[in-house]
Structures are given as C-alpha cells and as structure tokens.
Amino acid sequence: MDTKIITPFSRRNFLAAGAGIITASIFSPFSIALGKPKERLGIALVGLGYYSTDLLAPALQKTKNCYLAGIVTGTPDKAETWKKKYNIPDKNIYNYKNFDSIANNPDIDVVYIVLPPSMHKEFVIRAAKAGKHVFCEKPMALNVQECEEMIKVCKDNKRSLSIGYRCQHDPNTQEYMRIAKEKALGNVQLISCAAGYKESRADNWKVKKSMGGGAMYDMGVYALQGARLAAGAEPISVTAEIVINRPEIFKDADEITHFQLQFPGGTVANCTGSHGISTNFLKVNYDKGTLYMDSFSAYTGNKGYSTLGEINFPVDNQQAKQMDEDALAIMQSKPVLVPGEEGMRDIRIVQAIYQAAQTGKSVKIG
C-alpha cells in the first residue's frame, strides 16, 4: 500500500493557497459551490429560425459538454412552443429588449447568436458585456470593422468568441486540410470550389443586402473556406463577377458570385457562391495527384477521394460535434478551434470580392 507524506503548511503558505483558491473561484466562470466546475455548459440560442429550430436544438439533445439552457426570441408564440418542447424554465426565456439581464443568470454560460448577419455585432457585444461566452453563426459580420469591435469586446471581457464554421470540426474537412499542410500530394496548383442552392423567397433576409443577405455572404463563404483550407494558405488577390438572373427576387443582393483567388506560389482557386444554382463540390489538383469532395460542406454526408484513397469519415451530427468541442475548449481554458479572427479573415476577403466585382479589376487582399 502506498503511503502519502503530508507536509504541514506554514501559516503563510496556507494563506497564499487560500487566496489562490478564492481568486480561481472568482475568475473561473465555471465554478459553482465548493469550487466544483460545471460538467456541462448551458447554452442560450438567440434567434429561433430554421437553423436553431431544425438543427441546433436537436443537436443540443445529443451533446455531452453542453445543453440547451435558454432561448432569446421576439416571438411569444415561439417562446411558448420551445418552453413546452424542451422544458425550458421561464427564468431562462428572454426577448431582445430584456436580453442584457441574462448577465444575472448562472444557468447560461454561452450565448449562441443565430440571427441575420446585420444583428451579429450588436448581440455578440451585448452577450460579452453580460459576461457570457459567445458562439456566432457565419458570416461573422458585415465588414472587418464590425469583426474587430466584436473581437475586442470579447477580449476586454475575457470571454471566448467562436464562429460557427461546423465544417472545420468535420474530419472530412480536416483530411484535406492535412493533405495541404503536410504536402502529402505535393504543392496545390488549382482549386475549383462551389456552394449553393436556389433561393426563391423574395421576402427572406437572405436576399436583402442591408441584413447581410446575398450569395457571397451566405453560400460564398463556404466556397471561400473550402479554397482557403484546401490551399493551406491565404489569398493575396481576387477578381470577381456577380450574375443576377432573377432581378425580381435579387433586387439589391447578389444571386451568383464567381470569384478567382490568387495564392502565393501561383495557386489559383476558381469559386462560386450561389443562390441560383444547387451545387456543392471541391476539387484540388496537386502536382502529385488530385482530390475531389462531393459534397464538401453539407450538413451530413461529406465525402470524397484523393490519389491517397477514400475520404469518408461519417459524423453523427456536425452541429453537436462543433458545440461539444467548443464547450470543452472553454471549460479547459483552451483556444476554440474557430475563433473570431478566422471569421474576420473571410469577411476581409468577402469585402475584396465585392470590390473586385464592382470595379471589374483585381483587388489585393491586405
């Protein structure tokens, strides 16, 4: 039997240790009575549209490190429906006006912003100031300045900010990222990538530019992510073209955006983000082989193959995996997989793409 030797504490050591425990309990957001950490983080969904209703809420029934603790909605009928379906207590149900009082609710550790992009900045900042960690759906914001403000407020309040790029949590995506990083098939030469579906709702925010609508912000970000991650590098310039085939629906937002990214070393990526064509694929030509993913950014069933073999890592639920991994990172005080800086990188390029389409010229990406 092992014997433990206990060294007596001096009064000074005892006081120092006690002060350390008190300090840790004050500054750790996951401490509860007696200094015991939470086993699961409570998440409040802000905005109860399709993505929250059909994907995030069901996913939160499968998560191990977090759970659905609360909701924020401007529609009383939705609040009542969710309350009954998920057994959410009244004290964890908020609207957009009383949202800031969420600061006083220890049940909620993370606020997940699932609103139109034009509202992301406001609610990320309000959540961070309320002392809550933040998950924010893509696209992160309307412009780089908004991204910078969001990142700063989260850092100032010592809160984590994660962008909802579920695909980066998908092992199929991680495989083509690995191939690029390790140069397993040599250097990347040419990338072709497209993501899109046919949007026909004339009254939806996705066709309203002022709300962050448009093909590039919505589906184009997937194609942009596919190109960047497959290249394993950041683009240095871009050319672009916007196509509108249904002006009665796309009155001020882009329906289809084609863009070509130039990377260091001569790598080129031809990409499309679309609200007019259903498409989802990624093809990469290396100097020692090829890779093809179809689909590459769907909610389920992403798979493909390369010269090295099949790429098919089934994922039970992307959203559950994303939220579980981000929640665990927060509990362990580790960096989240996709921080705000990653979302801002995409927005900087999106702005350059719109500029290139408007001017008809190549635009450098700073």
Query: In which residue are the tokens 């690029």 written?
Result: 180
Backbone angles phi, psi at 184, to 5 degrees: -65, -25
Which helix (H) or strand (E) segment holds residue 176: the answer is: helix 171-182
Q: How far apart are CA 139 and CA 273, in angstroms?
A: 13
Per the annotation, the verdict on 165 as an active-site residue is no
- The side-by-side arrangement of strands in the sheet containing 304-306 is 309-311, 304-306, 289-293, 279-286, 188-196, 268-274, 256-262, 237-243, 363-364
Q: How far apart are CA 181 and CA 68, in angstroms?
A: 36
How many CA atoms lie within 13 Å of 286's alpha carbon, on the beta-carbon side? 21
Among the listed residues 94, 121, 132, 138, the single catalytic one is 138
Longest dimension (CA), the chain: 81
Which helix (H) or strand (E) segment holds residue 15: the answer is: helix 11-27
- The side-by-side arrangement of strands in the sheet containing 66-72 is 93-94, 66-72, 41-46, 110-113, 133-136, 161-163
Per the annotation, the verdict on 286 as an active-site residue is no
Residue 165: name the closest of 132, 185, 143, 137 by CA. 137
Q: Which two tokens stand for residue 102?
A: 């969420």
Among the listed residues 222, 283, 286, 321, the single catalytic one is 222
How far is the CA of 175 from the CAs of 167, 201, 302, 346, in angstroms?
Answer: 11, 36, 11, 21
Backbone angles phi, psi at 258, to 5 degrees: -100, 135
Q: Which two tokens stand for residue 348?
A: 């900087």
Expressed in percent and rounded to 5, the helix, strand and coil fractions of the chain are: 40, 20, 35
Handedness of CA 221, 226, 229, 235 (dihedral sign): negative
Q: How far apart are CA 312 and CA 179, in angstroms?
A: 14
* Active site residues per annotation: 138, 222
